[in-house]
Structure 1
Amino acid sequence: MYTIYVGDKPIILTTKVEKETNFKSFLLKSVNIGKVIKLLTTTDLQAVHLIHNNHEKLLKLFLKLLPNVVAGGGKVYNAKNEILFIYRNSKWDLPKGKVESKESIEETAIREVEEETGVDGLKITKPLTTTYHIFKRNGKHKIKITYWFEMKTEFDGKLFPQEKEGITKVKWLDDKASQKALENSYANIKILV
Structure 2
Amino acid sequence: MYKVFVGDKPIILTTQVEEETNFRNYLLNTVNLVKVIRKLNTTSLKEARLIHKNPDKLLKKFLKKLPNVIAGGGKVYNEDGDILFIYRNDKWDLPKGKAERHETIEQTAIREVTEETGVAGLQITKPLDTTYHIFKRNGQYKIKITHWFEMKTNFSGNLYAQEEEGITKVSWLNTNETHEALQNSYANIKLLV
Which TM-score band applies after superposition, normalised by the shorter structure?
over 0.9
Question: So what's the TM-score if we normalise by structure 1?
Answer: 1.00
1:124 Cα offset (Å):
0.1
Paired with 1:185 and 1:139, the residues of 2 have a C-alpha distance of 24
1:21 maps to which residue?
21
Question: So what's the TM-score if we normalise by structure 2?
Answer: 1.00
Task: Map 1:29-178 onto structure 2 (within 5 A).
Answer: 29-178=29-178
Amino acid of the residue matched to residue 165 of structure 1? E
Q: How many residues align?
A: 193
Paired with 1:192 and 1:76, the residues of 2 have a C-alpha distance of 12
1:53 Cα offset (Å):
0.2
- 1:3-40 CA-to-partner distances (Å, cap 9, x unmatched) read 00000000000000100010000000000001100110
Secondary structure at the counterpart of residue 59 of structure 1: helix
Paired with 2:72 and 2:127, the residues of 1 have a C-alpha distance of 11
Secondary structure at the counterpart of residue 35 of structure 1: helix
1:62 Cα offset (Å):
0.2
- 1:72-99 CA-to-partner distances (Å, cap 9, x unmatched) read 0000000000000000011000000000
1:189 maps to which residue?
189
- 1:130-156 CA-to-partner distances (Å, cap 9, x unmatched) read 000000001100000000000000001
Paired with 1:58 and 1:192, the residues of 2 have a C-alpha distance of 22
Structure 1 residue ranges (4+ consecutive) displaced by more than 6 angstroms after TM superposition: none
Structure 1 runs not aligned, ≥5 long: none
Identity percentage of aligned residues? 69
Secondary structure at the counterpart of residue 57 of structure 2: helix
CA RMSD of aligned residues (A): 0.3
1:179 Cα offset (Å):
0.6
Paired with 1:145 and 1:34, the residues of 2 have a C-alpha distance of 18
